[in-house]
Every structure is written in structure tokens, then in C-alpha cells.
Amino acid sequence: MPKKTDDEWLPDARGRYRRKVGWWVTKAGERKKYTFSFGTDKDQAKARLVRVKEVWAQVVRIHNEPTQSVGFPPLSPESSDEKGEPVWTGESLWIANVLSDPAVRIESQPNGKLV
């Protein structure tokens, strides 16, 4: 099946732009892709998707190179599934959900300071 691109990204029936990023382990112990809802504005959704993908890339990097994670806390036992593959931790998933939430706005003033 061909991979979807952001250019052909269509909203769901409720007008939301959604994408699956990263993996998580369900309560039943199944490893599944995690679905994020990025809102109804396509341009803003694309920007949020990039931020969430950056967090996932960091999760994978820290998982693959734990000794290189200077400045980051040690990995928790939940950072891997039973096969040793990286999965969202509680903290990283919380951060990604905040970044994907359309209600959260990160704005800056003309002088470059965050508001």
C-alpha cells in the first residue's frame, strides 16, 4: 500500500486532520500505531505533525543510543515493548499530545520572545 503524503492529506468525516505517529502498547499488550488529531486547519495541522514527529524521533534516538542522551532522564522500563522496539513513554506521549492539540498555541512577539 502506498504511503500517504502530507500533500494528499484529507480530513476525516468530522473535518479533523489525523495521522498515526510512533508506537504504543495497549493495556492488552498489543503494539499499535498511535493516532493524533491535529485540528481542522490543514496548514496548522502540518506544523503540529512536524513537531510530533520531532518528539518521536527523539524517543527513537534515545532508545537506540541511551548513553548519548545527555541532559535527558534515563529511559523508563516502559520505553520499549516486549520485542525491545521503541514505544511512546507516558511523558513523551503527553508532550506529543500537547503539541498536537489545536487548543494549544505557541506564539511569539516581533522581538522573538515567546508569549
Split into its structural domains, the chain has a count of 1
- The amino acid that residue 113 corresponds to is K
Q: What percent of the chain has pLDDT over 90?
A: 45
C-alpha distances out from residue 15 to 9, 20, 38, 48, 105, Å? 11, 16, 10, 16, 19
d(CA 111, CA 94): 30
Residue span of the structural domain in which 67 resides: 9-100
pLDDT tens figures, 65-109: 766 555 555 555 456 555 678 899 889 999 999 999 988 776 666
The H or E element spanning position 17 is: none
Is 91 within a domain?
A: yes
